[in-house]
Amino acid sequence: MLRVKFYVKTLCVNLMLSLAVVAPSVVATALACVKSVIFGDQVSMKFSHLLANQPLRNTRYSFPRFCLLCLLSYAFLSLNLAYGQDILKPHQPITFLLAPEEERTFVLQLKEDDFAEIFWIADRDLSLSFSLYDPSGQDLLENGFSAINDVDDSIPFVAQTSGDYKFTIKSNESRDKESQKITLQYTDTLKLPSKISERAFRKINGYDVKILNSAEEEKSTLLIEKGGRPKLVLKDVFLLSRFYFSDDVKHAYSAKERRSAMLMKSTLDKTGDGTPDVAVEHYSGGAHCCYTMMFFELGETLKPRKPISTGNARMIAIGKNPKGGLRFETADDTFAYWVTSFAQSPMPTVILEFQEGVLRPNFKLMRKPAPSLTKLKNKARVIRKKISLEPYKGVDDPSSGFEVVFWDEMLDLIYSGHEELAWQYLDLVWPAQKQGKAIFQKDFMEQLSKSQFWQMIEKEKKTTEKKDSNPR
């Protein structure tokens, strides 16, 4: 922010000096308007007084002087904009101090199809955030691949176009901490695991898609090549984590997953855009988490779709979409471990399909007939007897647990299109003598609002309501 203000001030000063050559009275008036915003009252008044009392320059020389000063201003501003942006060159490390809340920008000058992997050495306890902008200004880490790559160690990527790629590193430490030394460098040499324990390969529309897993080196690599040149590289270095093809039956552990693998294998265009693609899953390892599904369009150019993280639940194909591509099913794990154990955590079913290139819930397919009020009353009566009368004080209060999960029914009702019934069920199941129902309802909605699927469903509902209220 400070640099932005500095650039603005610099540009304003240079433009006013240039204009002062030919129109001092105009500058004096302009300064009177912006004095309090940029320069402060004292500075502005001095400039205004000085310029307003200058005689008009000889018009014979004013225009050439104006052009010269404009050129000088542009050069000076360009130098200012380059301030703080160091050029990174292959295999040439840069060591610097990064102060708390400071951000540094580094430039990699790359050509199309150049490979680069950025490494850094810093204190493991140091909180850092990163951005990587391509020449068009798009942050390559915003598309979700930072959740797959181990950004604690390195960021590998392939330049899709020629130009300057800007890598920013920011300290998230509080101001009371000391500056930390960081060493940054990048390599233009792609290094693959030397000891491969599992290898998978797909050849699709002229692309070679390879998955290379090394148990000994604890590395998993996804490599997509065309004509022998890398087009995309993703790496993971966590123990037990790995990439695998979604059509690989070796990673299908249930009848549903096996059917999904066969559907994936028999469908060349899974996203429905008319282009052959490949679907790759990533598993982070561990007892419960986490799965991420990725689709890569393999047309004239490689186009990654935004990955979708499904947390504790896999995403499987359940059938063909009449509009093209496949339909998918997963479970929303937003309420995993919420006021209960993982084993008892409810996870409502979500049906997804590609809409305008993005995987979104199909709320119409998720709708189900509403259960009768009698059925809900009977179920609530049974559950209510198992709920203690101890007051509910909030999700963070250790004494606010429940002996039985009852919000699973609420979630099923909400996700099947019956939100009003869900709140009626809460009224039925909550013991009349138990305090804290309003607090529970608030905590429940706060947790629900964290769901990426619920956010998309709510957005779709609002769009539909707006269209219905404004018919053409």
Return the pLDDT at 61: 46
Residue-wise pLDDT for 415-443, tens only, equals 999 999 999 999 999 999 999 999 999 99
206: region left, alpha or beta (phi > 0 left; psi from -120 to 50 alpha): left
The neighbouring-strand residues paired with 329 are: 316, 351
In percent, the amount of the chain with pLDDT more than 90 equals 56
Return the pLDDT at 469: 65
Return the pLDDT at 72: 57
Which residues are CB-neighbours of 89 under 8 A, at least 6 positions away? none
386/405 Cα distance (integer angstroms)? 10
Return the pLDDT at 236: 82
Residue-wise pLDDT for 86-132, tens only, equals 899 999 999 999 999 999 999 999 999 999 999 998 887 888 889 99
344/336 Cα distance (integer angstroms)? 8
Average pLDDT over residues 167-171: 92
200/149 Cα distance (integer angstroms)? 19
Return the pLDDT at 173: 85
Span(s) in the chain for CATH 2.60.120.380: 85-187
Could you tell me which CATH number the domain at 198-331 has?
2.40.128
Return the pLDDT at 348: 96
Return the pLDDT at 264: 96
Instruction: Give the H/E segment covering residue 54.
Output: none
Flag whether pLDDT at 6 surpasses 60.
no
Return the pLDDT at 357: 86
* Helix 437-448, helix 407-415: angle, nearest 10: 50
Mean pLDDT across the chain, nearest whole number? Answer: 82
Return the pLDDT at 290: 86
Average pLDDT over residues 348-352: 96
pLDDT band at 151 (very low <50, low <70, confident <90, very high): low
214/193 Cα distance (integer angstroms)? 6
383/400 Cα distance (integer angstroms)? 17
Which residues are CB-neighbours of 434 under 8 A, at least 6 positions away? 387, 388, 389, 390, 391, 392
231/243 Cα distance (integer angstroms)? 17
DSSP string across 420-434? HHHHHHHHHHS-TT-
Flag whether pLDDT at 56 surpasses 90.
no
> What fold characterizes domain 85-187?
Jelly Rolls (2.60.120)
Q: How far is CA 130 from the centre of its chain?
A: 12
Q: Which residues of 232-265 are buried (b: 16+ CB within 10 A; e: fewer)?
A: bbbbbbeeebbbbbbbbeebbeeeebeebbebbb
Residue-wise pLDDT for 281-310, tens only, equals 998 876 667 899 999 999 999 999 989 999
Return the pLDDT at 462: 77
Return the pLDDT at 188: 94
18/27 Cα distance (integer angstroms)? 10
Return the pLDDT at 159: 93
SS3 259: helix
- From 54-58, 265-269, 385-389, the region with the lowest mean pLDDT: 54-58
Return the pLDDT at 432: 93
Which amino acid is it at 180? Q
Return the pLDDT at 386: 94
pLDDT band at 181 (very low <50, low <70, confident <90, very high): very high
| Spatial CA neighbour of 104 closest among 11, 10, 184 | 184
196/202 Cα distance (integer angstroms)? 17
Return the pLDDT at 52: 43
pLDDT band at 65 (very low <50, low <70, confident <90, very high): low
Flag whether pLDDT at 176 surpasses 70.
yes
Residue-wise pLDDT for 231-260, tens only, equals 999 988 666 678 999 999 999 999 999 999
Average pLDDT over residues 130-145: 83
Flag whether pLDDT at 191 surpasses 90.
no
- From 28-42, 159-173, 324-338, 375-389, the region with the lowest mean pLDDT: 28-42
423/418 Cα distance (integer angstroms)? 9
Average pLDDT over residues 122-147: 81
| Spatial CA neighbour of 288 closest among 257, 256, 311 | 311
In percent, the amount of the chain with pLDDT more than 70 equals 76
Return the pLDDT at 242: 86
102/119 Cα distance (integer angstroms)? 19
Return the pLDDT at 63: 55
Flag whether pLDDT at 147 surpasses 60.
no
180-187 β-sheet, strand order: 94-98, 180-187, 115-121, 154-158
Residue-wise pLDDT for 359-395, tens only, equals 999 999 999 999 999 999 999 999 999 999 999 999 8
Residue-wise pLDDT for 25-55, tens only, equals 444 444 444 444 344 444 444 444 444 444 4
φ, ψ at 351 (rounded to 5°)? -105, 130
234/252 Cα distance (integer angstroms)? 23
| Spatial CA neighbour of 352 closest among 327, 334, 372 | 327
Three state DSSP letters for 170-189: EECCCCCCCCEEEEEEEECC
SS3 46: helix
Three state DSSP letters for 358-391: EEEECHHHHCCCCCCHHHHHHHHHHHHCCCCCCC
SS3 152: coil
* Tokens describing residue 360: 């979104």
Question: Which is higher by pLDDT, 342 or 64?
Answer: 342
| Tokens 């096996």 found at | 258
Which amino acid is it at 85? Q
The neighbouring-strand residues paired with 295 are: 279
Strands 291-298 and 128-133: unpaired
Please tell me what DSSP assigns to residue 147.
G
Span(s) in the chain for CATH 2.40.128: 198-331
Return the pLDDT at 200: 93
